[in-house]
Chain A
Amino acid sequence: MKWQVVETKKGTRCRVLEGGSGAPVVFFHGAGGLLRENPYLDGLSQRYHVYAPEWPGYGDSTGEELLEDMLDFALHGWDLVDALGLSRPHLAGHSMGGMIAAEMACLAPRDLGKLALVAPAGLWMDAQPIPDIFAMLPYQLAEVLFHDPAKGQALLTGGADLSDMEALKEFYIGSQRRLSMAGKILFPIPNRRLSKRLYRLTAPTLVVWGVADRLIVPAYAERWKTMIPGARVVMVDNAGHMLPYEQPDALVRALSEFLV
């Protein structure tokens, strides 16, 4: 896969990781952004034409000041689809990206093929409060995000040596910039009333969840199924919230079977 840069009509400049051929799939990353290696995208690109845009505020993508609320975020998703010249792509997203993809589908239900949500954010249940990722030390973050926190910690830092001050500074600045952006739709509670709009969905929908998700626990998978009649739910073993990175093959298999 390779990077390209697109400019949206609104004025953001976004890097997009692109590759493969076949039906177009736009995959939106979670609050942590794309990591250095993203094997699930490589796997998907064996069967589909995959576009994984990097959100403004992440990596080299700019224009974060142009996006402030949920509507801005969802419309930016569609602006990206337009900028990429796609017609009725499948939409997929992980965590925050799933929340965005679901909002996009509610806004323009006839403009997509299918909808695939991987441990999406966007709903809130008082009985299952989602841990506050904005109030966590780095090691605590790995503990709620991964089935295997030790491996996860290394993935999050991209193998950088954080005892090196320069590396730490770079990691810290990048992380502050990403979460600053994510906070616009996730802080203080990751619920922007998507549940009021889900009735509008018409696209076939798949929900994929890690059995060991400690951030947004599997009870939320049930909630999504209730909110979207007809949605298919796939539970994945040995996966936490970072399912795409912990079980990439299982994710690719689930998506491939669903998207066909």
Chain B
Amino acid sequence: MKFTWFNLMPWPYLPDDFREKNRSVWVDIPNTLYDPRKGHAVYHTYLDQLEYAETLGFDGIGCNEHHQNGYGLMPSPNLIAATLSRRTSRAALCVIGNSIAGYNPPIRVAEEFAMLDVISGGRLIAGFPVGTPMDTNFCYGQIPALTRDKYGEAHDLIMKAWASDEPFAFDGKYNQLRWVNCWPKPIQKPHPPIYIPGGGSIETWDFCLDHDYNYSYLSFFGYLRGKSLLDGYWERVAKRGKDDSPYRAAFAQIICVADTDAEAERLYAEHVLYFFNRCLHVFPPFADPAGYRTMATIKHGALAQLTLARQKILENLTWKQLVDERFIIAGSPETVRQQLEECIKGLRIGHLFCLFHNGNMPDWKTRHSSKLFAEKVMPHLRDLWPEWKHDDRWWMHPMDDRLHPEERRPGAEKIGQEWAP
């Protein structure tokens, strides 16, 4: 198993009545709710946590891209990864990823990812999401019905730019470039591992299998609800005649570890509920513009996915419900170990994106939970897939002789301690 410590980087200062006063945390959220002076400490705290995760022994550290929202403060994940590339040296940098349909021209992604791979000595995991409709369509203005087509073209351009040893002309429908000549190029050959985050679009499965990319199912609704979707994916894998290495798939999971189950509730409930109640409070039409999902996907999932219904689920959530229905995995190290084993085996995943920081969780709690996990849970889950032990097709291949950054300045890790008790 590979464990990646992921920080969504939510804005932790959404007011208590945020849900009542605002229709959406995304797209048209009042930007007066953002305070850049507080933001300074927030970024440093989050970045320190990611660096701390490497010292705990996590295999990867992760970030992603979202726009105009209080859910995740990374309009540019590549800036985040760039700072991490200098201050870490062992963990994979999982940028999950760049929403390539929104880049103009998308060769920019080929260049920036190559820069990250080179600076980090070959530690980049490159994610290519279509992007949420909030991001790609409403914030970045892409036409929903053409988004997937444009995404596909951007993908082809980036992969060809990385593969080609000579300048070429690219006559695309959305991008015309007479001279494509990627400088620099990535260290990892033929390219960094590619992860495709999917919500539930069935086209994404075939796309991953066509290219042998990792399929990452990112949901906050836990493994019980994720199971039918991943079952569908594995059926598709079998039908396509591909091997069933669990490393073909990744899953994101909110995890809270404390000394006991009761202590987990006492420490983390408030912050997890902040996340579910405020950070996921999206005006439903922003999440489902006509044309974003294909007709095939709509007919496949249809009303189960109807976002209004999904919002309803979020309205009166309690900690007990979150835990009982496994939206989150929370409790003592033993509870978390048992449930995660069930999650990992049930979904058949080789990569877990672990979400320890939630909502407005203070730094010390985030670190406490992460440390307990690293010490008392992770070691027991390492070898759940012994028969695939040597399958590294979906993991980084860094340079052995890569350079390590200089020692950090003493005291730098103290920024952000204002949240400590």
Contacts and interface: CB of A to CB of B under 8 A. Distances in A.
A31 to B, nearest CB: 10
B284 A137 contact: yes
Interface in A156-208: 165, 168-169, 172-173, 175-184, 187-189
Q: Is the interface of A mostly helix, strand, loop or mixed?
A: helix
A188 B290 contact: no
30 contacts: A68-B146, A134-B290, A135-B27, A135-B285, A135-B289, A136-B285, A137-B284, A137-B285, A172-B303, A172-B306, A173-B295, A173-B298, A173-B299, A173-B302, A176-B290, A176-B293, A176-B295, A176-B298, A179-B290, A179-B291, A180-B291, A181-B291, A183-B289, A183-B290, A183-B291, A184-B291, A187-B289, A188-B138, A188-B143, A189-B141
Given A135-B285, A183-B144, A169 B290 contact: no
A214 B146 CA distance: 28
B313 interface: no
B34 to A, nearest CB: 21
B135 to A, nearest CB: 13
Nearest to A176: B290
Nearest to A185: B143
A179 B145 CA distance: 9
Contact of A187 (B27, B144, B285, B293): B144
Interface string B269-299: 0000000000000011110011101010011
Contact of B143 (A136, A173, A178, A187): A187
Nearest to A68: B146
Interface in B98-153: 137-138, 141, 143-146
**10 tightest Cβ-Cβ pairs between the two chains A and B:** A180-B291, A179-B290, A180-B290, A188-B141, A180-B145, A176-B290, A135-B285, A134-B289, A187-B143, A183-B291
B30 to A, nearest CB: 16
B187 to A, nearest CB: 38
A66 to B, nearest CB: 13
Given A134-B290, A136-B285, A176-B290, A183 B143 contact: yes
Contacts of B298: 172-173, 176
A45 to B, nearest CB: 31
Interface residues on B, range: 20 to 34
Contacts of B137: 134, 187-188
A127 B141 CA distance: 20
Interface centre among A68, A180, A184 (most CB of B within 10 A): A180
Contacts of B303: 165, 168-169, 172
A13 B372 CA distance: 63
Nearest to A137: B285
B356 to A, nearest CB: 33
A241 B302 CA distance: 30
Nearest to A180: B291
Contact of B145 (A165, A172, A183, A188): A183
Contacts of A175: 290
A134 B137 CA distance: 10
A176 B291 contact: yes
B45 to A, nearest CB: 33
Contacts of B286: 135
Interface centre among B27, B285, B299 (most CB of A within 10 A): B285
B344 to A, nearest CB: 34
Contacts of A183: 143-145, 289-291
Contacts of A169: 302-303
Interface in B312-354: none
A64 to B, nearest CB: 8
B284 A180 contact: no
A178 B145 CA distance: 11
A175 B145 CA distance: 13
B145 A184 contact: yes
Contacts of A134: 137-138, 144, 285, 289-290
A137 B23 CA distance: 12
A135 B145 CA distance: 15
Interface string A115-135: 000000000000000000011
